[in-house]
Amino acid sequence: MQEIHYISSEILDLATISEITRSQKKLELSEEAILNIKKSHAYLSNKIKDNDTPIYGINTGFGSLCNVKISSENLSKLQENLVMSHACGTGDYVPKPIVKLMLLLKIQSLGYGYSGVQLETVERLIDFYNHDILPVVYTQGSLGASGDLAPLAHLSLPLIGKGLVHVDGAIEASEAILKKHNWEPITLKAKEGLALLNGTQFMSAYGVHCLLKCHKLSYLADVISSVSIDAFNCNMSPYNALVHLVRPHRGQVKTAERILELLEGSEIGADENKMVQDPYSFRCIPQVHGATKDTILFTTKTFKTEINSVTDNPNIFVKEDQIISGGNFHGQPLALALDFLGIAMAELGNISERRTYQLVSGLRGLPDFLVNNPGLNSGFMIPQYTAASIVSQNKQLATPASVDSIVSSNGQEDHVSMGANAATKCLRIVDNLETILAIELMNASQALAFRAPKKSSPFIEAFLIGLREAVPFVKDDRLLADDIQGSLAYIQNMEIDSELIFQ
């Protein structure tokens, strides 16, 4: 039987979203959500009936046109025009998993009953989600204030039978897909276009997608660096709990504990023939990886608040009998968090590449470039170049987007967050990090083989079994691009217990 997730006021967190997507759960509105949506829509309908009072975006124009009054007979046309005119996205297609998250988060936000939309509109969004009918959305176009207007307009176009959708591996006209399912286009009522477009679901979906990967990669960075620690025959004293309890940053303490757990029982680690000190890229793993963990935790908290919030405008408060125009669509909290997250993940890649560099440098009894007959064989010389190139790109991408703002809408929208640019940059950084870690892993696995017959810990030896099937020991030069892809696939396909990655 198909599992169902009920949209309600219960807190949505990363672990829940991970379970929804991993188990491919269908969505359904709870009775609570249905009641909230109906009450809000009925209140709005009654409020604007025979009411000439200007209410922003409901019976007025948008942005700097907020003082232009719209007649009652044109309110539906106003909303349809809004969706079509704002669908000005360009660039690459937003990845389909992120579009699906956008749908989920938009449904969640509308389900609180502060937006005045029709029940039919939310149910149609759920139909799209449940049938994997994913609107074609573009990466460029949002300023991250007044919400993610252009991306959310493209997300909303199929509701009115416009735009394109991803279906069964192809891109189709939404009009044809609606006909195939015998669905009539939605006739948008007062405020609905604004409720659909004013929101932060583009930034939020990117953030959630990035965070799910970041939690996993943070854990894997600890595991892969542990392979490198033994491969480089490092001194284990820097991971002693006493060191970290006198500077008890949460992430630092956690990282040191994890490395000791991962390397417990290592013959190499127990060897007393060690250097007094190791390079910072090994010795300071708890401090550097730990700082990234703390940043991930801060960003997770920010996004948990956001995805359980109402971010359109104006907001409808039925109990208080008020419709208030505010600024919950402004993406500044997300922009700052995404920039911070991007910087933190770039640093995981930075220190990873430094460990790779040390491993190929012919130190500590390891051959130059981790290969027999160096000279005849170049071995692992160039994968380090590749990692260095990607690290450099990440440094460029880590330049904050949130420090910029460009005036729009004739000065009405005079400060914007640029959080959408922060979001797309952050994903590129995280995807790059995955490759950098994959290169470190294949280098560390190769280097560890030269420590035989001594073994690493039981955990590390078991962890490397699957990798060595995909990336066997390199005896002589071969096409290492294939090995990088093999190591990357090993990381990407690895299922990790959620209790480990969401600690």
Ranges of each domain in the chain: 4-199, 206-312+324-501
Q: What percent of the chain is modeled with pLDDT above 90?
A: 86
Q: Assess whether pLDDT exceeds 90 at residue 432.
A: yes
Q: Which residue has the tokens 């749908």?
A: 103
Can you give the C-alpha Rg of the chain in angstroms?
Answer: 26
Order of strands, sheet of 170-173, starting from the edge strand that comes earlier in the sequence: 134-135, 164-167, 170-173
Name every residue whose Cβ is closer than 8 Å to that of residue 418 and which is 6 or more positions away in sequence.
143, 144, 335, 401, 402, 404, 405
- Tell me: the pLDDT tens digits for 317-349? 999 999 898 999 999 999 999 999 999 999 999
Q: Which superfamily is assigned to 4-199 in CATH?
A: Fumarase/aspartase (N-terminal domain) (1.10.275.10)
- Choose the catalytic residue: 56, 112, 114, 239: 56
- Tell me: the pLDDT tens digits for 53-107? 767 667 776 666 666 676 767 778 888 999 999 999 999 999 999 999 999 999 9
Determine the average pLDDT of the residues in 367-371.
96
Question: Sorting pLDDT into bands at 50, 70 and 90, what band is 414?
Answer: confident
Does a cis peptide bond (omega within 30 degrees of 0) precede residue 400?
no
Higher per-residue confidence, 411 vs 11: 11
Name every residue whose Cβ is closer than 8 Å to that of residue 36 and which is 6 or more positions away in sequence.
9, 111, 112, 113
Q: What is the mean pLDDT of the chain?
A: 94
Counting Cα atoms < 13 Å in the Cβ hemisphere of 345 gives 40
Determine the average pLDDT of the residues in 218-240.
98
Higher per-residue confidence, 394 vs 271: 394
Higher per-residue confidence, 474 vs 500: 474
Q: Would you state the pLDDT for residue 62?
A: 64
Q: Assess whether pLDDT exceeds 80 at residue 206.
A: yes
Long-range contacts from 26-29, C-beta under 8 angstroms, 24+ separation: 26/2, 26/129, 26/130, 27/104, 27/107, 27/126, 27/129, 27/130, 28/4, 28/126, 29/111, 29/119, 29/122, 29/123, 29/126
From residue 359, alpha-carbon distances to 285, 296, 416 in Å are 15, 28, 45
Name every residue whose Cβ is closer than 8 Å to that of residue 126 and which is 6 or more positions away in sequence.
7, 27, 28, 29, 107
56 catalytic? Reply is: yes
Supply the pTM of this predicted model.
0.95
> Of 169-183, 275-289, 404-418, which gets the smallest average pLDDT?
404-418
The CATH topology of domain 206-312+324-501 is Fumarase C; Chain A, domain 2 (1.20.200)
Q: Would you state the pLDDT for residue 153?
A: 97
- Tell me: the pLDDT tens digits for 475-485? 999 999 999 99
